[in-house]
Structure 1
Amino acid sequence: MLKKKAVPSMVKDQQLIKKRREQMIKGAVRLFIEKGFHRTTTREIAKESGFSIGTLYEYIGSKEDVLYLVCDAIYEEVRDRLHQQIDTDKTGLERLKKAIAALFHVIDEMQDEVLVMYQEAKSLPKEDLPYVLQKEVEMTEMMEEVIYACIEEGVLDLSEQEIKLLANNILVSGHMWTFRRWVMQKLYTLEEYTKLQTEQLLAGVTQKTKEG
């Protein structure tokens, strides 16, 4: 397991660090959506966050640290929300369908943040990128666990490779609601999109199970 980066801070009060960095993350996301990471300055981040450039540098060492904090915080929130919304009371395909709907709902609620994360993660220093990408793997593994439960209950019959591909396809389908929102959100409501994507995602694997 990759370790979380220790972002430098001259302040020792952990509660204050948490508060200031949350302000920083919100301000940075707004700016990154509008201008992108490279065109945004630390001075602009400080102003958008509600404090001076001097105060900003008490809580980070560089602009790249801000991007790292943004990506890490967004992944954590998406993962936590998804974990809360996956319905463990359901069984079989119904639980998988609920998990897909939960993922799409979370991504819809955080679409600006998700878009920033994927557009700007490439700007992270190469030593920081593996940790952030590991977060994506963890989210995919959450979906894999739900698929495994379906297999244990006998409602799906998939190989290891097929499980991983289905889990990744589900994640990508959720992300598409954000990446191609300029067209998808004109064609469908979230409910329509979720229903159609779920049907298409599960059509092939359920058919394979019936034939098997």
Structure 2
Amino acid sequence: MKPDVSSYDQSPAVRKPRARTVKTNTRDETLVQERRDVLIRAAIRVFIEKGFHEATVRDIGRAADMTQGTIYNYVKSKDDILYLVCDRIIAEYQFKVKQALDESAAPATQVSAALRTVARIMYEHQDEIMLIYQNSHLLDKRSRKVILARVEEFIAMFEGILSTASAEARLDFGNLHIAANIVTFLPTMIALRRWSLRDRTEPEEVIEALSSFIARGLGFK
């Protein structure tokens, strides 16, 4: 029987983040979503290459094959684009972890699958993770609050995973909120320490070593 991943979405103390509305001049919601998808992918490439401050809306438009006028039909500023980029990156790795949980059943398997998925996502999207770490402080207060709420939701999801595993596998993880913060933060070293890892290790070795290390620390064999 597959687990109900919705039960891992949040703890009672955490509310789902309410997305910030990005104004648009277009009423066709499908078209807005399609154009923003293209815009986000292009912006990620440009921000990684040039940095947020050096990148211009014109640069993003060229990468997205859109004119500046067209872009401003779907966002109002470069800050809007940065918000959409950060929100998309976090939402995507949350979704992939939930997919991994949906394919697992036993608590130990769920924890292992979630850890490996996060480690793999961090490895495959190192540039995007670095982009968030380097630029999220540039978001306006409201946007930053939404992004941090998404991260808190992700932590709460792991708190739910650990709570279930603790009860069923009879393991004591101590303070579950602290444990969830640890297991969701450690995989970011793949991006933050890539300067040390990239020339000495293979991707699968890093993913396996990190996820196994965390699992052993939690008490799983």
Question: TM-score of the superposition, structure 1-length normalised?
Answer: 0.88
Residue aligning to 1:69: 84
Distance 1:170 1:186 in 2: 25
Corresponding residue of 1:167:
180
Match of 2:130 among 102, 115, 140: 115
CA drift at 1:132: 0.5
Unmatched 5+ stretches in structure 1: 208-212
The residue that corresponds to 2:116 in the other structure is 101
1:77-131 per-residue CA deviation (whole Å, 9 max, x = no partner) reads: 1111111012553323332122101111122222222221222111101121010
Measured in 2, the distance between the counterparts of 1:125 and 1:67 equals 10
After the TM superposition, which parts of structure 1 deviate over 3 Å for at least 4 consecutive aligned residues?
Answer: 87-90, 202-205
Report the Cα distance in structure 1 between the residues aligned to 2:121 and 2:152, rounded to whole angstroms: 17
Match of 1:200 among 213, 216, 219: 213
Any conservation in 1 of the 2:104–2:113 contact (CA below 8 Å)?
Answer: no
1:187 maps to which residue?
A: 200
Distance 2:72 2:146 in 1: 23
User: 1:132 corresponds to which residue?
Assistant: 147
**For the Cα contact (< 8 Å) 1:31–1:40, is it kept in 2?**
yes
Percent of matched pairs sharing the same residue: 29
**Gap change, CA 1:87 and 1:193, over 3 Å in 2:** farther
Q: 1:10 to 1:134 in 2, by over 3 A?
A: same
Counterpart contact for 1:92–1:155, Cα < 8 Å: no
Q: Is the 8 A contact 1:10 1:59 kept in 2?
A: yes
Q: Which residue of 1 aligns with 2:56?
A: 41
In structure 2, the partner of 1:54 is 69
Deviation at 1:145, TM superposition (A): 1.7
**Residue identity matched to 1:172:** F
Cα distance in 1 for partners of 2:120, 2:46 equals 24
Closer, same or farther in 2 for the Cα pair 1:62/1:49, shift >3 Å?
A: same
Indicate the structure whose relative CO is greater, using CA pairs within 8 Å and at least 6 residues apart: 2
Instruction: State how far apart, in whole Å, the 1-side matches of 2:201 and 2:178 are.
Output: 25
Measured on the aligned residues, the alpha-carbon RMSD in Å equals 1.8
TM-score, normalization by structure 2: 0.85
CA distance in 2, matches of 1:89, 1:55: 44
**Matched AA of 1:16:** L
Tell me if the contact between 1:177 and 1:185 (Cα under 8 Å) persists in the aligned partners. Answer: no
Contact 1:166 1:201 in 2 (8 A): no
Query: Could you say which residue in structure 2 is the equivalent of 1:30?
Result: 45
Give the Å deviation of 1:204: 4.2
CA contact (8 A) 1:71 1:121 kept: yes
CA distance in 2 between counterparts of 1:84 and 1:204 reads 24
